Structure 1
Amino acid sequence: MFARQNSCFKCHAIDKRKDGPPYREVAEKYRGRDDAQAALLHHLTSGHKVKFPDGHEESHKILKAPPEDIDNLIGWILSL
C-alpha cells in the first residue's frame, strides 16, 4: 500500500491518534468540502509545518510520487 511504503503510518493510523490525526478524523474534517482533494494534495506535497502533540513543529514529509498514486491515497483517506 502506498501509505505504508511512504511511512504515513509512522504518524497516522486509521482509527487512533498518533503524532498525527487518525485518517478517519481527516476524512470527517474534509467530508463534503469542494476543496478536499486540493487541500489534501497541498498538505501532502508542500512540506508545510505541522504541529505535534508535544508542541514542536516539523515540516510534513513531501510525497514525491506519480500524481495518480497521490490521488489514490487521497481518495482512500476520504473514503474512510
Structure 2
Amino acid sequence: MKRRIAFIAAMLAVSALGSALASSAHAADAPRGQIVANSNACMGCHAVDRKLVGPSFQQIAAKYKGDAQAPAKLARKVKDGGSGVWGMIPMPAHQSMSDADIRTVVDWVLAGAPSK
C-alpha cells in the first residue's frame, strides 16, 4: 500500500509539471473544467478518452449518465478520495482543491469532458 501511495504521489508531481506547461499553452482554447483539471494534476491519472491510472473522463460520464446524485457523489469522491469503484488503485484525496474548482471539473466531466 505504501508503494502505491508513493507511486501515485510521484505520478501527481510529474503530471503537475507537465500539466502546468500544457495548460498554459492551450488555456485560451480549453473549457474551464479542463483548465482546472490540468492545474490540479487530474490528468496525471485520468485522460479524456482513455484509461490511465484511473478511468477516462468519458468513462466516468457514461457510468454516471442520468444519475441526479452524480455531481454530489463525484465532488465528495474528489475531495475525500476513495477506492473500489474502478479498481484496486485508490484515488487520493484533493483536500486543497476549492469546492468551486471541484464542481467545475465534475460538471465538465459529467458533460463528457468536451474540448470546447
Q: TM-score range by the shorter chain?
A: 0.7 to 0.9
Secondary structure of the 1:42 match is helix
Residue 73 (1) aligns with residue 105 (2): yes
Secondary structure of the 1:49 match is coil
Which residue pairs with 1:3 in the alignment? 37
Structure 1 residue 64 displacement after superposition = 2.0
Give runs of aligned pairs for residues 10-29 of structure 1, distance below 5 A: 10-29=44-63
Residues of 2 paired with 1:22 and 1:59: CA distance? 13
Q: Which one has a bigger Cα radius of gyration?
A: 2
Judging by fraction of residues, say which structure has more helix.
2
CA distance change for structure 1 residues 6 and 35 in 2, over 3 Å: closer, same or farther? same
Letter matched to residue 36 of structure 1: A
Question: How many pairs are equivalent?
Answer: 78
CA distance change for structure 1 residues 50 and 62 in 2, over 3 Å: closer, same or farther? farther
Which moves more between the two structures, 21-30 or 63-72? Answer: 63-72
Moved over 6 A (4+): none
Which residue pairs with 2:11 in the alignment? none
TM-score calculated relative to the size of structure 1: 0.82
Gaps of 5+ in 1: none
Structure 1 residue 35 displacement after superposition = 0.8
Query: RMSD of aligned C-alpha atoms?
Result: 2.1
Which residue pairs with 2:96 in the alignment? 64
Percent of aligned positions that are identical: 27
Residues of 2 paired with 1:66 and 1:47: CA distance? 14
Residues of 1 paired with 2:70 and 2:49: CA distance? 20
CA distance change for structure 1 residues 67 and 21 in 2, over 3 Å: closer, same or farther? same
Residues of 2 paired with 1:7 and 1:15: CA distance? 17
